[in-house]
Amino acid sequence: MSAVTTLTEDQLALAEVTLDFAQEQLAPYAVTWDQDKQFPVDVIRRAAALGLGGVYVREECGGSGLSRADGVLVFETLATGCPSIAGYLSIHNMVAWMIDRYGDPAQRARWLPGLCAAETLGSYCLTEPGAGSDAAALRTRAERDGDHYVLSGVKQFISGAGASDLYVVLARTGGAGPGGISAFVVERGDPGVSFGANERKMGWNAQPTRQVVLDAVRIPADRRLGTEGEGFRIAMHGLNGGRLGIAACSLGGAQSALDRSLTHLADREAFGARLLDAQALQFRLADMATELTAARALVRQAAEALDRGDPQAVQLCAMAKRFATDTGFSVADRALQLHGGYGYLSEYGIEKIVRDLRVHRILEGTNEIMNVIVARGLTESLR
C-alpha cells in the first residue's frame, strides 16, 4: 500500500502488522477460497487475535478502541490479501460497533467479547427482497407480545448468513416509514430462524450470502437495541462506518491489482523491449495511481470527519463510498487489461479482484443512492 505522510507512528505500525497478516494469511489462499466457495472462519479468528474482530469496540468490552481513521487503514490493508474476507470483516465490525454504541451494559457484556474474538460472527440484516435502496420500506415485522417480540419476515443478500451466530435485524414495530423501525439482535439458534440457499454470485465467493428467514421468531424484549422506533437511525449510523469500510476494501483490492500490474509489465517483453518501458503503458499506470491516491485521500477525510462528529460526515462518507468503489473497480479492470490474456486466468488472481470489487458499488447502499445523499445535502438549504 502506498505510504501517506500524514499517518502517525501508531498507524504505520498498525498497517505493517495488518499487511503482514494479509500477505501471509489471506493472499496465498484467496483464489482457492474463491473457487471452492470456502469461508475460512479459522483465519477470521486469527485476524481477531490481532484485534481486528472489534476494531471500533471500546477496550473495556474486549475491543481495540480504534478510530475510523485507523479502521479504513486496517480494511484497505486487509483487502490487499482478499477483498472478500476484508469485506466480511468490515460488516462484522459494523455489527460489533452497533451493539457497543447502542446496546445496554448487559447486551454489551453478553455479546461483545465473543464478537471481538470472532468466536461469535455477526451479520447485518436490513435489505429485503422488496426493500433494497428504499430501506425505510422494509416489511419484516416485530410484534410486541408481553415481555417478548415475535419477528416475521425475510432478509435478502445477507453476508455471512448461516455461518454467522448473531444477526442485527431491522424490523417494523410501528407504522410506515423510518420512524416505525426498531433494531433487534437475533441468534442463529433461535427457533424459527432458517436460511436460504447460498447464493451463486459473481464475486465475494469466500463468504456465504443467503436469505435469513424469520418465521415467528420469539425473542425476549431485552434483545431490542435502543428504543422502539430508533432502529432506522441506528441502521443509518452503522452504514456510515460500513460505507467507509467497503470503500477502503476497494482501495486495497485495487492497489493489489496495480502492484501486480507493475510486476507483470516489468517481467514481460514485446517488440524487443519491456512493456514497463512503453510510455503509453506508463501513462495508464500513472492515471491508476493518481486516481487511487485521490480516492484514498477522500476516504481518510471522511473517516476523520466521522471521528470528530462533523455535520458533513454523512455526505462525506457517501462521497467516499461512491468515489472509492467506482475508482477501485475501474483500476482493477484496467489492471486486468494490462495483464492481457493472463489477467483473464483465475490463477493470476486479477479477475477475482475485478469480480470482488464489482459488488462494492452496490453494497452498503448503491452508488446511485450515495449520489442521492450527496445531492440532498447540497440542496437541503434551498428547499
Query: How far is the C-alpha of 155 from the C-alpha of 259, rounded, in Å?
Result: 38
339-345 contacts at long range (C-beta below 8 A, 24 or more positions apart): 339/260, 339/261, 339/264, 342/264
Q: Name the DSSP letter for residue 141.
A: E
Q: Are the C-beta atoms of residues 268 and 260 closer than 8 Å to each other?
A: no
Instruction: For residue 334, give the 3-state DSSP assignment.
Output: helix
Q: 380 catalytic, yes or no?
A: no
User: From the centroid of its chain, how far is CA 3?
Assistant: 23
Q: Rounded to whole angstroms, how far apart are CA atoms 291 and 294?
A: 5
Q: Is 269 helix (H, G, I), strand (E, B) or coil?
A: strand
Q: What is the DSSP string of 283-325?
A: HHHHHHHHHHHHHHHHHHHHHHHHHTT-TTHHHHHHHHHHHHH
Query: How far apart are alpha carbons 234 and 304 in whole angstroms?
Result: 20
Of 16, 128, 364, 380, which residue is the catalytic one?
A: 364
Helix, strand, or coil (residue 177): coil
Within 13 Å, how many C-alpha atoms sit on residue 367's CB side? 16
* Residues classed as catalytic: 364
